[in-house]
Amino acid sequence: MRVIAGIHKGRQLKAVPGKDTRPTTDKVKEAVFQILGPFFQGGSCLDLFAGSGSLGIEALSRGMETCVFVDKHPKAIQTVRENVSMLKLNDHVEIFRAEAYRALSAAGKRGLSFDLIFLDPPYNKVDYLELIESIEKEQLLRSGGVIYCEHDANDILPETLPGFSMKKHTNYGGTIAITIFQKEN
């Protein structure tokens, strides 16, 4: 697992020990960032089920200014801390060990908002529509912002959601699917 592009291109990232975390493959990550925009001019992102932090770190490498990493598993949080420290990104991140809905609520109370939110939870364990509703309720996504959903290819997310347009839906390798929603103005 490595950083694909940007200022940290080619740097290796540590994976979360054990088999509980499924990292996004380099191939999928590369394709996804071509869709999201190969490079960013600042902005902030939320990596809600961070795992190793690979997606948020990729966004930082490509020009996002800040990223909030959240995961409920201690091994994942430790791995994110190690990867962030290795790349000297500590001044650009916040890292929290928390359950997803509690983290969304806390971010809302702090008045945080993001340009990009990554949702890559363990497959078949989370209701994406419920997560997106919580993001909307807490007003965490800026106008024109993007929500990236990585999910099992058998899970079909709706093409339309109130206040959002589907930017892309693609299957990768028959088991992984990506659905990207953009918040309408």
Domains of the chain: 26-183 (3.40.50.150)
Task: Measure the CA–CA gap between 93 and 50, rounded to whole angstroms.
Answer: 12
Environment class of 147 (CB within 10 Å of its CB; exposed 0-12, middle 13-18, buried 19+): buried
State both tokens at 14.
Answer: 């540590």
**What pLDDT is stored for residue 174 in this prediction?**
75
pTM score, two decimals? 0.94
**What pLDDT is stored for residue 160 in this prediction?**
84
Judge contact between 47 and 66, C-beta under 8 A.
no
Our CA dihedral for 137, 141, 143, 144, rounded to 10 degrees, sits at: -130
Q: HSE of 62 in the Cβ direction (CA atoms, 13 Å)?
A: 22
Q: 102 CB contacts (<8 Å, ≥6 apart)?
A: none
Question: Do the strands 141-152 and 93-97 form a parallel or antiparallel pair, or are they unpaired?
Answer: unpaired
Flag residues of the chain having pLDDT under 50.
none
Summarize pLDDT for 88-99 with one digit per residue, the tens. Answer: 999 999 999 999
**What pLDDT is stored for residue 71 in this prediction?**
97
**What pLDDT is stored for residue 88 in this prediction?**
97
